[in-house]
């Protein structure tokens, strides 16, 4: 059934579909970055396809290739029970330009997934409603899933700060309530407590 999605993409978008393959039952379409948003809308809205669930979106760094970064979306249709992987390639060799249109208007799950991809891989999503770090703290330097990120790099250790000092909200945001998730306070342990 997912082959139908690849066929419809090629028929509708022509040369915006750079390549397709079905290795090991995983149907994949590699698309031009300027057509990313239009293709995602089509996959969601086409009555024959109905890809209504984005299960994942991530960035993959290929430092020896130009374009260097690949953004990969995994889509599933709950009603049709088929899946597809959609990829696009962006960024230059130095990753000075690494931008792509946001698909938060197509799938709400893209909100957090695009924030994670921005945080870990440095992809900027144009039109994202709240593009900021989601896993690393705001002062973190770099993007740890890029292949050129130095694994031994020391990051700044920050003292606890108030919202005024931080310049941003430190309260837990939805979906976490005040009694859920990890607290942000620091605790020092004695030698006997560490063991």
The pTM (predicted TM-score) of the whole model is 0.81
Percent of the chain with pLDDT over 90: 63
Q: According to the model, what pLDDT value does residue 177 have?
A: 62
Whole-angstrom Cα distance, residue 98 to residue 91?
A: 4
CATH match for 2-151 among 3.30.1490.20, 3.40.50.11890, 3.10.450.200, 3.30.460.80? 3.30.460.80
Q: According to the model, what pLDDT value does residue 48 have?
A: 95
pLDDT, average across residues 137-151 = 88
Q: According to the model, what pLDDT value does residue 181 have?
A: 55
Whole-angstrom Cα distance, residue 13 to residue 112?
A: 28
Write the CA distances from 184 to 129, 172, 177, 180, integer angstroms: 25, 10, 14, 12
Decide if 18 contacts 31 (C-beta within 8 A). yes
pLDDT, average across residues 181-188 = 52
pLDDT of 170 over the 70 cut? no
Which residue has tokens 């086409």? 46
Q: According to the model, what pLDDT value does residue 156 have?
A: 76
């Amino acid at each position: 059934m997912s082959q139908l999605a690849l066929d419809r993409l090629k028929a509708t978008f022509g040369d915006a579909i750079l390549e397709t393959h079905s290795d090991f039952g995983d149907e994949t379409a590699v698309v031009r970055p300027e057509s990313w948003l239009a293709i995602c809308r089509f996959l969601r809205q086409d009555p024959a396809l109905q890809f209504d669930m984005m299960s994942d979106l991530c960035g993959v760094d290929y430092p020896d290739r130009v374009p260097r970064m690949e953004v990969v979306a995994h889509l599933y249709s709950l009603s049709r029970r088929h899946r597809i992987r959609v990829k696009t390639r962006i960024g230059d060799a130095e990753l000075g330009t690494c931008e792509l249109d946001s698909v938060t208007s197509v799938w709400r799950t893209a909100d957090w997934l695009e924030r994670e991809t921005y945080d870990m891989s440095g992809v900027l999503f144009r039109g994202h409603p709240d593009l900021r770090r989601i896993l690393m703290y705001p002062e973190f330097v770099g993007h740890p899933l890029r292949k050129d990120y130095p694994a031994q790099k020391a990051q700044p250790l920050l003292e606890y700060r108030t919202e005024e000092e931080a310049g941003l909200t430190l309260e837990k945001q939805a979906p976490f309530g005040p009694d859920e998730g990890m607290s942000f306070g620091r605790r020092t342990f004695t030698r006997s407590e560490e063991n």
